[in-house]
Amino acid sequence: MSISAPRYGAAPVARTGRIHRTLAIVHRELLRRAGLGTILVLALTYLAVTLVLTINTDFASLTGSLTLATFETPYASPAWPFLMLIVATSVGAGSLAEDVGNRSITLYFSRPIRRIDYLAAKTAATGTWMVIAAVGPALLGLAVILALGWAPASLVLAGAGAFVATGLLASVFFTGLALALSSLTTRSLYAGVAIFGVVLSLEIGAPLVSGLTGNSSAAYASPITDILSVAQSAFGISGPFATDPLTSAALLAFGGGLLAIFAGWRISRVEVVGE
Which residues are near other proteins by CB under 8 A? 5-10, 13, 15-17, 20-21, 24-25, 27-28, 32, 102-115, 271-275
The angle at the Cα of 198, spanning 196 to 203, to the nearest 5 degrees, equals 90
Least separation in angstroms between residue 172's CB and other proteins is: 26
| 24 or 69: CB nearest other proteins | 24
Query: Rounded to 5 degrees, what angle do the CA atoms 192, 223, 93 make?
Result: 15
CB 10 to other proteins: min, Å: 5
Between 25 and 180, whose beta carbon lies closer to other proteins? 25
Q: Please give the distance of CA 53 from its chain centroid, rounded to a whole number.
A: 22
Closest distance of CB 125 from other proteins, Å: 13
Q: How far is the CB of 127 from other proteins (least distance, A)?
A: 20
Length of the chain: 275
Least separation in angstroms between residue 188's CB and other proteins is 13
Considering beta carbons, is residue 107 or 153 the nearer one to other proteins?
A: 107
Nearer to other proteins, 14 or 147 (CB): 14
Nearer to other proteins, 1 or 8 (CB): 8
Q: Which is nearer to other proteins, 61 or 128 (CB)?
A: 128
CB of 105 to other proteins, least distance (A): 8
Q: How far is the CB of 38 from other proteins (least distance, A)?
A: 13
Whose Cβ is closer to other proteins: residue 112's or residue 214's? 112
Characterize 188-207 residue by residue with b for buried, 16 or more Cβ atoms within 10 angstroms of its Cβ, and e for exposed. Answer: bebbbebbbeebeebbeebb
- The DSSP annotation for the chain comes to ---------PPP-----HHHHHHHHHHHHHHHT--HHHHHHHHHHHHHHHHHHHHHHHHHHHHT---GGGGGHHHHSTHHHHHHHHHHHHHHTHHHHHHHHTTTHHHHHTSS--HHHHHHHHHHHHHHHHHHHHTHHHHHHHHHHHHHT-S-HHHHHHHHHHHHHHHHHHHHHHHHHHHHHHTT-S-HHHHHHHHHHHHHHHHHHHHHHHHHH--GGGGGG-HHHHHHHHHHHHTT--S--SS-HHHHHHHHHHHHHHHHHHHHHHHHH------
Provide the minimum distance between the beta carbon of 116 and other proteins in the complex, in angstroms, as a whole number: 10
Residue closer to other proteins by CB (options 17, 240) is 17
